[in-house]
Structure 1
Amino acid sequence: MTHEGPPEISLAPERRTIDVVPDDERHGSPRSQFTLWFGANMQITAIVDGALAVVFGADALWAIVGLLIGNVFGGAVMALHSAQGPRLGLPQMISSRAQFGVLGAVLPLVLVVLMYLGFAATGSVLAGQAVNEILHIDNATVGILIFGAMTAFVAVTGYKLIHVVGKVATVVGIIGFTYLLIRLFAEYDVAAFVGIKGFDIVTFLLAISLGAGWQLTFGPYVADYSRYLPRSTSERTTFWSTFAGSVIGSQWSMTLGALVAAVAGDAFLSDQVGFIGELAGPAVIALMIYLVILVGKLTVNCLNAYGGFMSILTTVTAFNGQSRISSRARTLYIIGFVAVSMLIAIGASADFLNNFKNFVLVLLMVFTPWSAINLIDYYLISKERVDIPALYDPAGRYGRWNKTAMSCYAIGVVAQIPFLAQKLYTGPVTDMLGGADISWIVGIVFTAAIYYPLARRSSNPPPAMIYPEHTAMADTRQ
């Protein structure tokens, strides 16, 4: 029996970790995916991400168009990962053992953990500023520590409370960001700052990369939040709910960021949160906007902490063979992750915007090959058939290491190097293209092209989905 109604607010810690969610614990509807991902993207870091394209030279109009293209393309890839959740009932990175092997999946997992730490730290810097504005505190460390404690509480409680926070973030985000757009047009002659530069392919491709990178980095954990949906949930509905929530929310935030950067320039660069508060106007309304910023950042930071915990646990259990851990151990994992992210945030560089741009683009380099391999195997080679018990058994169907997937992954990363446009390194092909970074496109297309023919010959998918016996689940799509 499944529960179709909305999840209740529960302060009891979630019981499930990296094990499959049985049918009698499934609940909710795909609408929850829309509100979660919409709320997670209506936040200050997405505003900063949208501003980066303008900060680094694009006209606001072309930046907005480029960001939209990137969000749509990256959002489609991300939502394809989300659609796996209801059928598998597993966290995203556990399922990648089917491609890389039980131990082989640790390679991308280590990079995923670094991603979560990076986003959690950068988010904590901005959220800490909002906390300081609300409480009138001058010490940046205090704001970061308070926000970290809030993040740890929600992440420890788990899935249901995270979805509730996402719903709250959706409502307050729509109200707050609509108000900010109105204020921006009321305070500035926005039209005078848009469409004043010609089309530039380099900055246009940067905008596309920033939008796509934002979406693609959700891929390694997006199914963590759809895995509790009933198995009868339509994959198409899950896809579109996730896609719409993530793309609309991020594009809204990034458009605001591009416009703010265009009209404000240095005033925004020096203090992103402070500028948004000043734009809000009267002190009481500014306080409400700081709360909007805080709720939005809390939503996505909980995703980072929760996903980071799942990835660390997936890495550890690849070697000890466990599929479940105690609630106490779960709590300690999450608190440890949040503590490390706060330490990074406290020691963050003053050159935040430039470092964040490079951080996002580097992540694209390592995650596009992983996405290509995971999606091609699941949808085209295994055709949605996975031996779930074997995902926890190094001696099972998927083995310890899948040399085909790992080799293609490594080659897919290396193939992007000539196309990179990074602060520390610019590839020779990038110089020929005038500085345009298309490495992420190369990563997806090239990896897919070499992986598909090799995996078709070497893969060994089961004839039907195989679930653990203790879950009393059976495949209904043989």
Structure 2
Amino acid sequence: MQQRDSIVESRSFDYVPESERHGTVRTQVQFWFMVNATLITLFTGAVGPAMGLGLSWTWIAVVVGSIFGTLFQAFHGAQGPHMGLPQMIQSRVQFGSRGAVLPLSAVTIVQFGFAIFFIQTASSSLSAVTVDQTTLYDVVIGAAAVVLAIVGYSLLLRVEKIASYITLANLVLLTVAAAVVLPIGSLIENSPFVPAAFLAQFGAAAMYQIAIAPMVSDYTRYLPFKTSGRAVSGAVFGGTLLSAVWLEALGAGLALASPQGADLIAAIRDMGDRFGFGIGAASMAVAVISCLITCSLSFYSGSVSLLSAFEAFRPLKSSGAVRAVTLVAAGVVVIGATLLLPADFLPAFNAFLSILGYFLIPWTAVNLTDYYIVRRGVYSISDIMRSDGGIYGRWGIQGMISYALGFLAMIPFFSTAIYTGPAASALGGADIAFAVGLAVASCSYLLFMRRRDLSTEFDAVRAAPLNTLGEPPSAARASTESMEGNLSA
């Protein structure tokens, strides 16, 4: 059993027993605040202005869209302490141990793909305040992120806590600088409303938040079992919403005050420099720290999803060595891609990641519908951890069909640089595919599960060595042995 004072985390896709749980709801607020507190978030707030939307309407779209999207990731947060499992492996209940591989694969690629952007942003920010050694910075930042991810959750939590104070102070100063330097008053007075642009900004803000959903329980699972689910959801909601809305609002102001197509990261440094007190350079330094930390989170969650998918086909015992080897291999691939991808390829690559993100929308709908409405949190952890799926099987037909219907319904509403569906074109390019996918997948799953008798399954859950009904005293002492037995079954 892993000890709480161990340096390197041994857990990855497996269950975290009560003896290893720690942390508080307050630390989760700081943790999730930092998840969105990177300069990359600025670009989400520039979607509406790029289509002619005024500042006040952009701010409204950012707030409303962010609230809508954050609700979904916050609901996932309560699953962590209740189940003690990382986010994506919980999908085995709805999709089966092997049926869950599709969303697991999409999450893996998206997380490692976003790591490329975080490395590049951190490297560019560092080059802006030092000498231009982009290649060297890419390697060093990528390697540092991998090391943080290898050490694991406890170190990430401590680093995020410290960084949250620095980032908060920087955001306050940037906000003051924006109020002084940018023509905010005139931008608010001259604030045209463009319906298609408003929908596009709403969708961008919502999608940006929903994209975090596949990683939420990876970090809330270490909280004690009796931690209030509402409190956890509130911490996730408040933390991520605050940083997202704050930075997207700044991004909107910068986008409207800067020339069309201007680099927002360069613009925020210029704004800080014009205000004085070295805020421009300081913001770049803070950007390096925040991107490095968030990059390590991408590596961490990507490796958990990758191992979860692999374990469905070949039983695998979780260990620190397995995590380290997986993360080092992923780091080599990501850093290599960062160095090899040409700058003009990044917009297309970003669109590719956006399309992969669509694969996660019907997943979150099915997963949350099952957890809160169908099975209401009653699960056998022992069976989830079996490679054959145990009572949940290898293939969850109802979940898979609901997922497919939700995804197919979204296609006409896709709006990316690679493909724009007819419905999205009719809406002026606004992307509301997420809303369609959520509704269709959720309703389909409810319809398919309506007549399924779960009484036999719930009897098996009560008899399972580990379940979500409350860990028996004997299971608390032997939880690791139970897991190892299930993995080898």
- TM-score of the aligned structures, taking structure 2 as reference length: 0.89
Contact 1:86-1:233 within 8 A present in 2 as well:
yes
2-side partners of 1:179 and 1:353: how far apart? Answer: 31
- TM-score of the aligned structures, taking structure 1 as reference length: 0.91
When residues 326 and 15 of structure 1 are mapped into structure 2, their CA distance, relative to the original with a 3 A threshold, is closer
Match of 2:364 among 341, 363, 371: 371
* Residue matched to 2:482: none
Contact 2:139-2:335 within 8 A present in 1 as well:
yes
2:454 matches 1:462: no
2:272 matches 1:276: no
- Displacement of 1:353 after TM fit? 8.0
When residues 150 and 200 of structure 1 are mapped into structure 2, their CA distance, relative to the original with a 3 A threshold, is same
When residues 198 and 286 of structure 1 are mapped into structure 2, their CA distance, relative to the original with a 3 A threshold, is closer
1-side partners of 2:204 and 2:465: how far apart? Answer: 38
- Displacement of 1:470 after TM fit? 5.0
- Displacement of 1:169 after TM fit? 2.5
- Displacement of 1:255 after TM fit? 0.6
2:85 matches 1:90: yes
- Displacement of 1:76 after TM fit? 0.6
Contact 1:31-1:241 within 8 A present in 2 as well:
yes
In the TM superposition, 1:170-319 aligns within 5 A as: 170-266=164-260, 269-281=261-273, 282=276, 284-319=278-313
2-side partners of 1:79 and 1:467: how far apart? Answer: 29
Q: Secondary structure at the match of 2:204?
A: helix
- Displacement of 1:284 after TM fit? 4.5
2:343 matches 1:343: no
When residues 21 and 459 of structure 1 are mapped into structure 2, their CA distance, relative to the original with a 3 A threshold, is farther
User: Residue type of the partner of 1:113?
Assistant: T
In the TM superposition, 1:317-396 aligns within 5 A as: 317-322=311-316, 324-351=317-344, 354-355=347-348, 358-359=351-352, 361-393=354-386, 394=388, 396=390
Structure 2 gaps of 5+ residues are 467-473, 480-489
* Residue matched to 2:58: 63
Q: Which moves more between the two structures, 431-440 or 257-266?
A: 431-440
- Displacement of 1:11 after TM fit? 7.7
Contact 1:202-1:437 within 8 A present in 2 as well:
no
- Displacement of 1:386 after TM fit? 0.6
- Displacement of 1:363 after TM fit? 4.3
Match of 1:26 among 13, 21, 42: 21
Q: Which moves more between the two structures, 303-312 or 400-409?
A: 400-409
Structure 1 gaps of 5+ residues are none
User: Residue type of the partner of 1:388?
Assistant: I
2:103 matches 1:143: no
Q: After superposition, give the CA deviation of every residue in 1:10-45 in whole Å (9 maximum; x if it has no partner).
A: 781112222211111111111121100101211111
User: Residue type of the partner of 2:150?
Assistant: V
- Calculate the aligned-residue CA RMSD, in Å: 2.3
* Residue matched to 2:471: none
Contact 1:108-1:370 within 8 A present in 2 as well:
yes
Contact 2:348-2:418 within 8 A present in 1 as well:
no
2-side partners of 1:21 and 1:442: how far apart? Answer: 35
Q: How many percent of aligned residue pairs carry the same amino acid?
A: 31
- Displacement of 1:361 after TM fit? 4.4
Contact 1:305-1:337 within 8 A present in 2 as well:
yes
When residues 287 and 426 of structure 1 are mapped into structure 2, their CA distance, relative to the original with a 3 A threshold, is closer
1-side partners of 2:338 and 2:450: how far apart? Answer: 44
2-side partners of 1:50 and 1:363: how far apart? Answer: 21
Q: After superposition, give the CA deviation of every residue in 1:279-309 in whole Å (9 maximum; x if it has no partner).
A: 2225844332222111221222121110001
User: Residue type of the partner of 1:198?
Assistant: P
